[in-house]
Amino acid sequence: MCAAIVSSLFWASTTTLSPAFAATPNIAARQRAEKKNFTDAQIIDGFFKTAFGAEYHLAGRVDRIRKYDGPVRVYVDSNGRADREAQLAGVITEISRLVQHLDIAIVETRDDANVNVRLVRDRDLQRTIVTAYGTERANEIRDSLDPQCLSGFRKNEQYQIEHSDVILTVDNGDFVFLDCAYEELLQSLGPINDTDSVPWTMFNDDVQMGFFDIYDQYLLNILYDPRIKPGMTVAEARAVLPAVLTDVRAWVAKANGLEK
């Protein structure tokens, strides 16, 4: 299971593997089999369930839109794993390509970044969380989320995300790494609330994708549409959603070659 946290510090769900994933499935086969047609109601339901609330949070209200309101720059602390760093670069390139109004890219120095990604061995995960957040908070995270990978962000009083941290384990196979990388990076951008009531989203701990699926492209494109503002309430977001969703549908169809 992947996990995320919000604040003033918020954390997204962690990834915990089920026995069903002892044998790594083929990502290409999952892409061929994915559901691609959704009603407006299905998309809107998933948006509200993931963009509002938080699976685990330490402070601050969770009933408002939270997102970056400017360029997102990612620094990767690869811990010597150039192979995983290259895979992560591909994930970020794909997110950039598929979310229309999101400016996201990798940078070479930590000082230039507002997202910090750390690649660690599985056995070092808890120690890394302790180093980052202190023993007491790390134990709370472990007890509440039991993470295999983790993401969290810090927001300001205007609900603009100021900084995100992502921790990914590197030694559990390609599928797990890619599944965690997509989920944690995307949750670090704002949709941090996991839900078990939406069967198509990777923000459901029972769903493992390994790629950026169509349904979640809808959710991220809605969130990063300029008409969806940081700090919006559910009612305010609902008022602009019909127009936003019309444009998002057109973009997702074009980006994925789904036009009839």
Average pLDDT, the chain: 85
Please, are residues 176 and 51 in contact by the beta-carbon 8 Å criterion? no
258 or 9: which leads in pLDDT = 258
74 by DSSP, 3-state: which? strand
100: which DSSP letter? T
Nearest one of 37, 93, 70 to 218, comparing CA atoms: 37
Structure tokens that stand for 208 in this block: 């493992």
pTM score over 0.75: yes
Residue entry with tokens 């360029």: 71
The answer to whether residue 93 scores a pLDDT higher than 50 is: yes
258 by DSSP, 3-state: which? coil
Share of the chain above pLDDT 70, in %: 83
Tell me phi and psi for residue 206, to 5 degrees.
-90, 0
Share of the chain above pLDDT 90, in %: 59
- pLDDT tens for 218-231 read 999 999 999 999 99
pLDDT band at 207, cuts 50/70/90? Answer: confident
The answer to whether residue 161 scores a pLDDT higher than 80 is: yes
184 or 31: which leads in pLDDT = 184
pLDDT band at 32, cuts 50/70/90? Answer: confident
9 by DSSP, 3-state: which? strand
- pLDDT tens for 102-150 read 999 999 999 999 999 999 998 888 888 888 777 877 777 676 666 678 8
**H or E element that contains 82:** helix 82-98
193 or 253: which leads in pLDDT = 253
Provide the phi-psi class of 129: left if phi over 0, else alpha when psi is between -120 and 50, else beta.
alpha
Nearest one of 207, 212, 146, 213 to 181, comparing CA atoms: 212
